[in-house]
Amino acid sequence: MTSMAMPALINADLRQTVIVQGRDLPWIPSPQVGVERRLLFRIGQEQARATSLVRYAPGSRFNAHAHPGGEEFLVLEGVFEDEHGHYPAGSYVRNPPGSQHSPGSTEGCVIFVHLRQFHPEDRERVVAQVPDQGSQALWHNTHERVWVQQAQPGETLEIANPQGLELFVLDGQLRGDDFALHPWSWMRLPPGTAFQAVAGEAGARVWIKDAVLDLTGC
């Protein structure tokens, strides 16, 4: 399996509301055999500012590499691993700018990952475990806040959005006036666009990031 040339711009206009149904996207080969991606957001080629779903086949591994702009990921399935540890499904990890590792997976895994989207002053490495049920704060500083929120069946989820907002549905469903979010749906809203949706019959559990969007390149 060979890698394909990556589009340099995917959902790159940060002034626009974007919804991507992650489960509906094709898996695209990466330069590393056994590692595939579903592309949600991208500015750049292989060295890109990007948000993706990444799937590691059992036994696949990248060579050691650095993350000059930081890396943030949530393990959705399987066990992700590097020389720093093993991270089962539900693990949330922040590797700050300047960090490096050799990632892979013995048994295979899927992760939701942000690359090159850290504030340059963020220097703390974080490892947290997301609970199967309930809400939990994962990270916050003066630049951003990250948490998982549980919405009960029929509950209305409302989130103010003064600086930029991202949501990734872990399970369940959310419905707004003109959209529906399902497991592995990703949504990004520009500053000033508040989020409001109602959880479906099974409720919903959502990863949420409240952070400044860099609109300078738009």
Distance CA 213, CA 189 (A): 9
Give the CA-trace dihedral at 146, 151, 155, 161, to 10 degrees.
10
**pTM of the full structure:** 0.94
pLDDT for 78:
98
Which portions of the chain are predicted below pLDDT 70?
1-6, 215-218
Identity of the residue numbered 212: V
Identity of the residue numbered 122: D
| Residue found by looking up tokens 């691993």 in the block | 81
Angle CA(42)–CA(47)–CA(48) in degrees, nearest 5? Answer: 20
What pairs with residue 200 in β-bridges?
none
**Domains in the chain, CATH or no CATH each:** 9-16+23-128 (2.60.120.10), 131-211 (2.60.120.10)
In this predicted model, what pLDDT tens digit does every residue of 6-64 receive, in sequence order? 678 999 999 999 999 999 999 999 999 999 999 999 998 777 889 999 999 999 998 88
pLDDT for 2:
45
